[in-house]
Chain A
Amino acid sequence: MANITKKVSWSSRADESGATAEGTPLLNGSEQPRPSRQLSGSGGIFQIGRLSTVDLEEEMTSEEESLRGRPKEIPHNEKLLSLKFESLDYDNIENQLFLEEERRMSYMGFRCLEISRWVVCGLIGFLTGLIACFIDIAVEQLAGYKYQVVKTNIEKFTEVGGLSISLILWAVLNSAIVMMGAIIVAFFEPIAAGSGIPQIKCYLNGVKIPRVVRLKTLVVKVCGVICSVVGGLAVGKEGPMIHSGAVVAAGVSQGRSTSLKRDFKIFEYFRRDTEKRDFVSAGAAAGVSAAFGAPVGGVLFSLEEGASFWNQMLTWRIFFASMISTFTLNFFLSIYNNNPGDLSNPGLINFGRFESGSVEYNLYEIPLFILMGAVGGLLGALFNKLNYWLTIFRIRYVHRPCLQVMEAMLVAAVTAAVSFTMIYFSNDCQPLGPEHKEEYPLQLFCADGEYNSMATAFFNTPERSVRSLFHTQPGTYNPWTLGLFTITYFFLACWTYGLAVSAGVFIPSLLIGAAWGRLFGILLASITPDGSIWADPGKYALIGAAAQLGGIVRMTLSLTVIMVEATGNVTYGLPIMLVLMTAKIVGDYFAEGLYDIHIKLQSVPFLHWERPPPLIG
C-alpha cells in the first residue's frame, strides 16, 4: 500500500509542480522552451487528436494549410490548442506493483475504504453547504448595507436637489467593491475568473487545468463572487458555487493542500486521478445543489456536464453529497433567519413557491411555450456570439491584469450609471404591495405611497429581481419598463461575462428571460379580447427564464430538473423540457453554448461527445 501511495503521490506532485512551473513563465512571458515538457505535452494532445473524428482533422488541415506560409506568431483565435494543458490519468496503471498492492488489502481495509468514501462525500456536502451559506449571508449583509446607504442618499437629494451626486456615489461604491474582487482575481488567481463551470467541465472530462482545484482558487473565488455581486454587476453567485464545491471535494478527498503546503496524511488511497475525479463530480453536484436547492439536478449536472465515468454506487454517493449540501445550507440559513429547524430555504436562489392555482397551464399554451423556447434560443445565440467577439478582443488586447481590473471597474460604474438613468427617467410608479417589505423601494418622483417600479428591477440584487418578476401580481410592471429592462440587462450581462471577476451567468440569463417572458405574458393578455385566460404573467416569466438560460448555456436534462426543483413544481416539467429542447435546437443552429465557446477560447484540448457537424461548403 505504501508503495502505491508513494508512487501515485509522486507522479501527481510532479504533475502539479510541472503545471505551476509552466504556468508562471507563461504569465511572465519567459522565452524558455521546455523540450521535455513540450514532448510530453504534444504527446498528450497528439493522443487526443488521434482519437478525434475525421471531420475535426479536416478542419485542422485546412487551418494548417492556411497558416503554412505565415510566420509562426499569430493572434489568438478559437482554433488553437494550448500546451499548458495535460491530461489526467483516468486509467489505473495495472502493473505488477499495483496488482500486488490491491491483493494485499485486507477485508477490513477494504470496508474502511468504502466507509471513508462516504465520510468524504458527507464532508464535501457539508463544507459546500457552509460555503454557500457564507456567501449568501455575506452578500445579503453587504448588499443590504450598500443599498441602504445609496437609498438614504437618493432620498436626501431627491428633496434638496443634486441627484447626480447620488449617481456618482452609487457608481463609485460599485467600482470600489468590484475593484477589490477584480484585483484578487486578476493578480492572484486568474483561473478563478468567470463562473468556473467550463473549467470544471474540462477537469471532469480529463483535461488537467492548472491550479483549478486549489484552496487558493477557492478563497479567491468566494471573495471574488461576494465582491462582484455586492458590487452590483449583472452576475449571479450560482456558477461559482459549482466551482467551489469541486475545489472543496478535491481538497477534502486528497487530505492535503498544495496552497497551504500541508499534508494531513489522511485519505492517501484517494490520491489518484480516478478517485479524485469521482469526488470532484460529487463536489460539483453538491455545488449545484446548494446553489439551486436542487439535489437531483446536481447529480444530473455531474452526469451531463462532467463525469466520464459513472456507476450506481458513485451516483448514490454523489446524491448523498448533494442532499447533505442542500440540507446544511438550509439548516444554517434557518438559524440565520432566526427560526432554527425551519428547513424551507433550500437554495441560494429561491424562486419562491408557485401556488398551484395560479400556475396551471393548458394544452393550447404549449405551442406558445415552444415559441418562447425558440425566441430564447435566438437571443441566447446572439448573446453567445456577442460574448465570443468580446472575449476574443479581451484576450488579444485586455490581457494585462491592471487593464483587466480597470475594465471591471468601468463595467461596474457603467452598470450603476445605466441603472440610475433608467430609474431616473422611468415614469412607472406602482403602489407597494405587502410582499415587498424587505426590499429597498425608491420613491424618487413618484406620488407618495408609490414606488418606482424600474427600481424594483434594477435597485436590487439580481436574485430578488428574478423572484419579483416571477411572483408579483399582474400589473406590477408596465410593458415599457420590462422591454427597456430586458434590452439593457441583456447587453450589460453580455458585457459582464468574461470580465476578470468571478461570477456566474445563470442569474443574469434567468433575469433577462424572466423580463421578456413577463412582457410576453402581458402582451398576450392585452391582445386577446378577454385577457383572463392568460392572466398570470409570472408563469410566462418562468418559461422565458428557462428559455433564455437554455439558449445561453445549452444544458438540457440537468437544467430541466434544476428548474423544476427550484420552483418546487413538478407540473412544469413538460413545458420546461419542451422549452429547453427548442432553445437548444434553435440556438445550436446559430452558435455554440457559452461554456463551449469559452472552453475553445481558452485553447483547451477538449473533446466533445458528438463529432462536430460537417462544414458547410
Chain B
Amino acid sequence: MSVRKNSSFLLFLVLISYALVSGDAVNVTASDSADTLTQSSSLNPAAAAVVLVNSPVFKKPDVDSPFSLNLLSSFPEDEEISVYCNDLLHIFGQRYVSYVNCSVNSARPVKVCQNCFSSYGSLTEIYLNISSDQMSPGNASCRESLLRSDRLMLVYLLYSNLKDIWSKSDCANCVTKGFQSLTNDTLYFMDSVNQTLTCFEKHKEGNHTELCKSCKSTYKGLNELYSRMETNKTMCIDIEDVMNVTRKLWSKSYNCSFPREETVPVIAVSSFMLFLPIIFYLSSFLHSEQKKRKLIHPKRARSYNTLMNIQDKLS
C-alpha cells in the first residue's frame, strides 16, 4: 500500500466523517447557527490539508479500514451525550465575552476590579459548574469532555488566562467573598480619592502653592490611608493606579513635593566631617612618633652575606 493511495483513502474517510459529524460538532464549537455554514466550508479544506500533511503519521500504526470505521461510528455517540455540556459551554462563552469586553473597556484608567467583578464572578461560577465532578443528566462528566479531551484544552486555557489576569490585578483584595460587592475599605478609599481630586479641581486655577497648602491635609490623609492598606495587603490594581495618578498630579503637575532647600547646612556639615580625617592624619603625621624597627643581623646568616633579621620592637 503506497503512501499516496493510503492518504487519499484517509482523506476520503475524513471527509465523510466530517460531513456526518459536522451537524453536532459545529454546534458544539461555534454556537451561533448563522456561522455554521461558513465555518464548515472553511474548515473542510483545512482539515483535508492537515490530513494530507500528516498522512505518514496516520499510516504509522498501520491502521486498517475496519478500525477507522469503528472510530467513525463511535464519534457521534460520544458527542451526543454532551447536550447539557454544550449548554454550559454556550453560557461560558457568553460570560467570557462579556467579561473580556468589560475589562477592555476599563483598562485605562484601570477600573477592572470595580467594573467587572460581577461578570468575573459569574464566569467563575459557570467554570466551576463545568469543572465540577458532578455528572450531567446524560451521565457524562462535562469536565472530561470539555476540559480534558484534547491537547489544546481550549476552555481550560481561556479560563486560566483570565484567572491569571485576575490574580495579577489582585482584585480579590477589593471584592467581598462571593463577588457580591466591593469591600468597604475600597469604597472608603475611593471616596477619599474623590475628595482629594475635587480639592485639586477647586484650586487648580492660579498659583499652585495655594493648592499645595490647602489640599495638603486631604492628600496626606489619603497617603496615610494608602500606606496603611499597603501594609494590610488590601490593595488591588484599581487602588494602586488611582493612587499613582493622584501622586503624579500632586508631585509632577502641581509640583508639591518637598523642595531641596537645606543645601548649605548639609554641605557645611559634611565638609566639616571630611576635614576631620585630614586634620587627624596631619596631626598624627606631625605629632605621633614614627614607629622604628631595629635591625638585627643574625650571626649565622652573616656567613651567607645575604640575610638579615630584624628584631621587631618599638624604638
| Distance of A162 Cα from B280 Cα, bound (Å) | 28
A448 touches B309 (CB 8 A): no
Assess whether A611 is interfacial by the CB under 8 Å rule.
no
Contacts of B257 in A (CB 8 A): 445-448
A46 touching B300 in the complex, CB below 8 Å, given contacts A158-B258, A414-B276? yes
User: How many interface residues does A have (CB within 8 Å)?
Assistant: 66
Assess whether B260 is interfacial by the CB under 8 Å rule.
yes
A57 touches B273 (CB 8 A): no
Assess whether A115 is interfacial by the CB under 8 Å rule.
no
Assess whether B306 is interfacial by the CB under 8 Å rule.
yes
Question: Could you list some 7 contacts between A and B, CB below 8 A?
Answer: A30-B313, A38-B296, A38-B298, A46-B307, A60-B307, A164-B266, A424-B266
Distance in Å: Cβ of A410 to nearest Cβ of chain B:
5
A398 touches B284 (CB 8 A): yes
B258 touches A603 (CB 8 A): no
Assess whether B294 is interfacial by the CB under 8 Å rule.
yes
CB nearest to B223 among chain A residues: A448
Contacts of A164 in B (CB 8 A): 262, 265-266, 268-269
In the complex, chain B residues 258-305 whose Cβ is within 8 Å of any chain A Cβ: 258-262, 265-270, 273-274, 276-277, 280-281, 284-285, 288, 290-301, 304-305
In the complex, chain A residues 476-531 whose Cβ is within 8 Å of any chain B Cβ: none
A79-87, A212-220, A238-246, A580-588: which lies at the interface: A79-87
A447 touches B251 (CB 8 A): yes
Q: How large is the interface on B (under 10, 10 to 19, 20 to 34, 35 or more residues)?
A: 35 or more
Assess whether B311 is interfacial by the CB under 8 Å rule.
yes
CB nearest to A73 among chain B residues: B292
Distance in Å: Cβ of A371 to nearest Cβ of chain B:
34
| Distance of A168 Cα from B262 Cα, bound (Å) | 14
B48-56, B59-67, B128-136, B242-250: which lies at the interface: B242-250
A177-193 contact mask (Cβ, 8 Å, vs B): 1 or 0: 00000000000000000
Assess whether A533 is interfacial by the CB under 8 Å rule.
no
B301 touches A49 (CB 8 A): yes
A126-134, A284-292, A415-423: which lies at the interface: A415-423
A167 touches B266 (CB 8 A): yes
B306 touches A398 (CB 8 A): no
| Distance of A609 Cα from B288 Cα, bound (Å) | 38
Contacts of A411 in B (CB 8 A): 277
Distance in Å: Cβ of B220 to nearest Cβ of chain A:
10
| Distance of A411 Cα from B278 Cα, bound (Å) | 11
Among B259, B268, B294, B300, the residue within 8 A (CB) of A72 is B294
Among A41, A75, A400, A417, the residue within 8 A (CB) of B288 is A400
Could you list 5 further interchain pairs (A-B, Cβ under 8 angstroms) beyond the known A25-B313, A49-B307? A46-B307, A49-B306, A60-B308, A75-B291, A418-B274
| Distance of A144 Cα from B299 Cα, bound (Å) | 59
CB nearest to A437 among chain B residues: B230
Distance in Å: Cβ of A81 to nearest Cβ of chain B:
6
A81 touches B310 (CB 8 A): yes
Assess whether B315 is interfacial by the CB under 8 Å rule.
yes
Contacts of B290 in A (CB 8 A): 75, 396-397
Assess whether A171 is interfacial by the CB under 8 Å rule.
yes
Among A38, A45, A161, the residue within 8 A (CB) of B261 is A161
In the complex, chain B residues 6-54 whose Cβ is within 8 Å of any chain A Cβ: none
Contacts of A74 in B (CB 8 A): 292-293, 295
In the complex, chain A residues 15-65 whose Cβ is within 8 Å of any chain B Cβ: 25-26, 29-31, 33, 38, 41-43, 45-46, 49-50, 57, 60-61, 63-64
A33 touches B285 (CB 8 A): no
Assess whether A399 is interfacial by the CB under 8 Å rule.
yes
Assess whether B1 is interfacial by the CB under 8 Å rule.
no
A73 touches B311 (CB 8 A): no
In the complex, chain A residues 321-355 whose Cβ is within 8 Å of any chain B Cβ: none
Contacts of B298 in A (CB 8 A): 38, 42, 45-46
A414 touches B277 (CB 8 A): yes
CB nearest to A56 among chain B residues: B306
B129-154 contact mask (Cβ, 8 Å, vs A): 1 or 0: 00000000000000000000000000
Assess whether B252 is interfacial by the CB under 8 Å rule.
yes
CB nearest to B299 among chain A residues: A42
Among B262, B277, B312, the residue within 8 A (CB) of A83 is B312
Assess whether A94 is interfacial by the CB under 8 Å rule.
no
Contacts of B284 in A (CB 8 A): 397-398, 403
Assess whether A436 is interfacial by the CB under 8 Å rule.
no
B312 touches A73 (CB 8 A): no
A42 touching B309 in the complex, CB below 8 Å, given contacts A410-B277, A410-B280, A421-B267? yes
